[in-house]
Structure 1
Amino acid sequence: MHSESSLIAQRVLEAEFFKESRRVGVYIHCAPLREVDTTQLVSAVTKAEDKRCYIPVVQDRDSNMRLIHLDTLDDLKPAPPFNILEPPPTYADGRPREDVLEMDTPLDLLLMPGLAFDRRGRRCGRGGGYYDKFLARCQQRTQQLGWDPPLLVALAYRAQMVEAVPMCDYDRPVDIIVTADSMLSCSPRGRQVHPYG
């Protein structure tokens, strides 16, 4: 799994869509949930002078999630119930951290985890609906402000690619899936930014 995670991270870091993105949302992986390790990616985004990093933070049990700014890896602390690392709600000086849904600029790219994916970009999450709810709010905001929605890119181990994933009405397919072997463009938007997949 570690070698696959490293290859996936390398593919993302070399992709034009990543190089061109300025505001990047990326999850902090949870090893027990068998998610692709994002340590290398989070480190790269926080260290890049031309990028800002935003990390998912669970707000409550009603599937509400925020994406807040992370300026340094040192700010990450384990949060219950899975001890996934999260930034605290405020910066060191006490100011509230920048929130993606309150920014005056759009999120360019969102790197997402999942349980399983198919070649059409359909994603099976863990049943909590956190990403579905966040993406619905994000889409509503981008439409109101006339922005492009973030490019949705899923990171997947080979074993997570399946023949077909069932979809509900509220499920959002991703634009691109990155595995250790390839980069699959799954939507018109995905094919626009990565026509070779």
Structure 2
Amino acid sequence: MNKSEIRDIYQRKRNALPAQEKALLETQLFDQFWTLFGENRPSVVHLFLPQKTSQEPDTTKLLDQIPIKAPNTRFVAPYIVPGTKSLEHYFLDHSTNLIDNQWGIPEPDPQTSQKAEVTDIDMVLIPLLAFDRKGFRVGYGGGFYDRFLALCSERTLKVGLSLFGPLQTINDLNGYDIRMDVCLTPGNIFKWK
């Protein structure tokens, strides 16, 4: 299948998940995150905040667990620079003022938040709709994360979060697609690095 077909199928599949099932899958997915976190002990983790209408994994639940499971770790969230395909990154905690962007994605307010540099980031949690067995993902088609991931250092661990298992293949990959190092699902940790 090509990316457009995959986007359509997996967005519908995710939207069809009953709330209880999604909550269970998220719990299992975030258990996998904490396992990977324990293996790598990153100091700064970049996480996406969920788009309200897309049924993405609710990464804000990870923020609730930080004081207990990762008291010395800092989290960063993206801000889409208006009129561009670029992301800026800001440190995130419970006191961060969040503002919904045009797509309904909460973002740190750049006027009141502390900016982070790409070089600060040890691990990136990547939004996606689907991924394949080679470590490539299908996102929403804007290219924001592929541009961002291309700027990350080799040491930055690129980690996808998926509620579903892998596809066999994505037919229309191109030179802009960045391979993930890891993809977490509720039942598995897939590693390519």
Query: If the TM-score is normalised by the length of the shorter chain, which range does it land in?
Result: 0.7 to 0.9
**TM-score, L = length of structure 2:** 0.78
Q: Alpha carbon RMSD of aligned pairs, Å? A: 2.1
Q: How many residues align?
A: 170
Sequence identity percentage = 25
Q: Could you say if the C-alpha distance between residues 73 and 19 of structure 1 is closer, same or farther in structure 2, counting changes exceeding 3 Å?
A: farther
In the TM superposition, 1:33-72 aligns within 5 A as 33-45=54-66, 48-70=70-92, 72=93
| Distance in structure 1 (CA, Å) of the matches to 2:157 and 2:169 | 22
Partner of 1:176: 182
The answer on 1:109 being equivalent to 2:127 is no
Residues 76 and 9 of structure 1, relative CA distance in 2, 3 Å threshold: farther
Shift of the alpha carbon at 1:46? 6.7
Structure 1 distance, partners of 2:124, 2:184, is: 13
- Partner AA of 1:75 in structure 2: T
In structure 2, C-alpha distance between the alignment counterparts of 1:35 and 1:87, rounded to whole Å: 18
**Counterpart secondary structure, 1:74:** coil
Aligned-residue offset at 1:85: 1.6
Report the CA distance shift for 1:28/1:151 in structure 2 as closer, same or farther (over 3 A): same
Of 118, 137, 158, the match for 1:123:
137
Distance 1:74-1:132 versus aligned 2 partners, 3 A rule: same
Gap change, CA 1:130 and 1:150, over 3 Å in 2: same
Question: Which residue is equivalent to 1:11?
Answer: 32
Query: Match of 1:162?
Result: 167
Q: Partner amino acid for 1:50?
A: N
SS of aligned partner of 1:14? helix
Gaps of 5+ in 1: 143-147, 190-197
Q: 1:49 to 1:90 in 2, by over 3 A?
A: farther
